[in-house]
Amino acid sequence: MKKVFLAMAALALLCLGVAASGLTTLDFEGLPTTYYTLYGDQNIGGYYPGVTFGPDATILDRVIGGYTDSDYPPHSGNAVFWSPPELNYVDITFDTPVSYVQGWFTFANPGYLDAYDADGNLVDSDSMAANYPGGNDMMSVSASNIKRVRVHGAFWTGDDIAYEPVPEPSSIIALLGGLASLLAFRRRRA
């Protein structure tokens, strides 16, 4: 019986670890051409469910055309997102809070990734030195309640934005309830 209990507890902890490490990655490949700088210049906006880009984030793509600059390479695939030089920032807002955000960036000047909570308070920040030409390095932020991140700096591109949703309280309560039930069952049998 002890072995069964230990196996169930290990399985529950494994499930919790797997649920907590579920990164969602946005790679900017295959978007409609209206989002491409040279073909429609439309802000990505809410194209991805649960995530909004703005105020002016568009796509550059090596295959679709107009983007051949190996000085600002993609991390994967052929597409990157960016903001025109006159703006130099993109806000990424999440419908529900996330606990971790990372992305791969090339900056001609120092670059920044700032994380904010729902009240607009800065909760974490990361920065990097210029890695142009040809660099592509990761920046990340983490906090328990990230509602929005801002990528900013002069002349930059980004790729492979990944984020981790905050676990829902109901999922954690259900897991803890299951563990409590196992403990109670074990005590009754002892």
Q: Give the model's pLDDT for residue 127.
A: 98
What share of the chain has pLDDT > 70, as a percent? 75
Across the range 174-178, mean pLDDT stands at 60
Tokens 């989002």 correspond to: 35
Q: What is the mean pLDDT of residues 43-53?
A: 95
The tokens for 155 are 């002349």
User: Which domains, ranges and CATH numbers included, belong to the chain?
Assistant: 23-171 (2.60.120.200)
- Give the pLDDT confidence of 98-108 residue by residue, as tens digits: 999 999 999 99
% helix / strand / coil in the chain, to the nearest 5? Answer: 25, 40, 35
In Å, how far are 108, 170, 182 from 175, measured between CA atoms? 47, 9, 11
What's the pLDDT band for 66 if we cut at 50, 70, 90?
Answer: low
How high is the pLDDT of residue 51?
97
In the DSSP assignment, the letter for residue 166 is P
Per-residue pLDDT of 78-126, as tens digits, reads 899 998 888 899 999 999 999 999 999 999 999 999 999 999 999 999 9
For 187, residues 6+ apart whose C-beta sits below 8 A from its C-beta are none
As a whole number of angstroms, the distance between CA 131 and CA 57 comes to 21
Rounded Cα gap, residues 1 and 12, in angstroms: 17
Backbone phi, then psi, for 158, in 5-degree steps? -135, 155
What is the tens place of the pLDDT at every residue in 3-32? Answer: 544 444 444 444 444 444 599 999 999 899
